[in-house]
Amino acid sequence: MDRNLALELVRATEAAALAAARWMGKGDPSQADAAACEAMHRALQSIKIKGQVRIGRPALEGGALLTEGSVVGSDENGGGLDVALDALECIDSVVTGRPNAMSVVALNAAGAFMPVGGLYMEKIAVGPDAVGKIDIEASPLENLVNVASAKRCYVEDLTVSILDRDRHADLVRQVRAAGARIQLIPDGDVSSAIATAVGDSGVDVMMGIGAARAGVLAAVALACVGGDMQCRFVPLRAGDEPRIHALTGGDPRRRLGLRDLVGEGNALFAATGITAGDVLGGVHFRKGGASTHSVVMRQRSGTIRFIHANHFFDRKPKY
């Protein structure tokens, strides 16, 4: 893939973030989501790729622009690429004005991304300084001791990001018993997973059960920056078990790593903040325009670019 594609992708995440941010705090998830999906779709259609959405979802009102199987891009004759995206990751955070909402797009070679849509996973993620020191089958205490050793600090110095869900009551108890600090988040485990590896976020480990779609998106970013992540499927709904059985080759408790989730190759990742979070600032509107904060990553080079952009609404791009 052309390395310039990474910078093209950020146009799509910026467009979706700007559209969704208009609905921040207004309590209307359907309108926020529809605006983000429509804006991202328009922007993607202007990029010279032929991509098939492997990780996507219908809009809340049933819009099918960015569902799995959709084709995006303007290059009808080009080689196929896998696309993983969420035009509005953390819908509830936007409609309530909470942190960590972002717009995300990733690319890789055709067939690279595991098609996990609709499923849930148990996850643990760390940054580059703790690669190889986590084990999804180990206890929270064992993992935290190993991560602390790799980071040359005490367990008490670590901060663990966990989704604030009833299903995590025992996990929270075990992490507290181990002595680590906890950041309970209402939404946004993609942002928290990336935060373990990027910048001075203060997040050392992300643990817990969340959407598998979010796990793949986070895994692309971690693969780009040299972080580490392990997952295994958790059947939370009727009908999950046959799909999990098929995806894991008959071993539903199989440990999955970055390569299983995002394949090999030269993955690209772009995200733009909608509401401010651990890694990215949110959209700020001003007279005649707005500013955005994005991150762009490329697996082959390991490059991480943070982009502060000013947008002028009287010079709108023509998608």
**Residues facing residue 211 across a β-bridge:** 120
- Which residues of the chain have a pLDDT value below 70? 1-3, 318-319
User: Tell me, what's the pLDDT at 4?
Assistant: 73
User: Tell me, what's the pLDDT at 15?
Assistant: 97
CATH class of the domain comprising 5-113+266-315:
alpha beta
User: Tell me, what's the pLDDT at 297?
Assistant: 95
Count the Cβ atoms, other than its own, within 10 Å of residue 3: 12
Give CA–CA dist 10/15, Å, rounded.
8
User: Tell me, what's the pLDDT at 79?
Assistant: 77
Give the residue from 263, 262, 283 showing the smallest Cα distance to 271.
Answer: 283
Give CA–CA dist 210/171, Å, rounded.
13
Longest dimension (CA), the chain: 57
Give the residue from 89, 50, 87, 90 showing the smallest Cα distance to 70.
Answer: 50
The phi-psi region of residue 3 (left if phi > 0; otherwise alpha if psi is between -120 and 50; otherwise beta) is alpha
Q: Are 180 and 160 in contact (CB under 8 A)?
A: yes
Give CA–CA dist 26/270, Å, rounded.
26
User: Tell me, what's the pLDDT at 241?
Assistant: 95
User: Tell me, what's the pLDDT at 318?
Assistant: 62
User: Tell me, what's the pLDDT at 319?
Assistant: 55
Give CA–CA dist 29/23, Å, rounded.
8
Q: Which residues of 268-299 are buried (b: 16+ CB within 10 A; e: fewer)?
A: bbbbbbbbbbbbbbbbeeeeebbebbbbbbbb
User: Tell me, what's the pLDDT at 77?
Assistant: 75
Q: Where are the domains of the chain?
A: 5-113+266-315, 120-262
Total-model pTM: 0.94
Q: Where are the alpha helices (DSSP H) in 46-139?
A: 91-96
User: Tell me, what's the pLDDT at 317?
Assistant: 72
Structural fold of domain 120-262: D-Maltodextrin-Binding Protein; domain 2 (3.40.190)
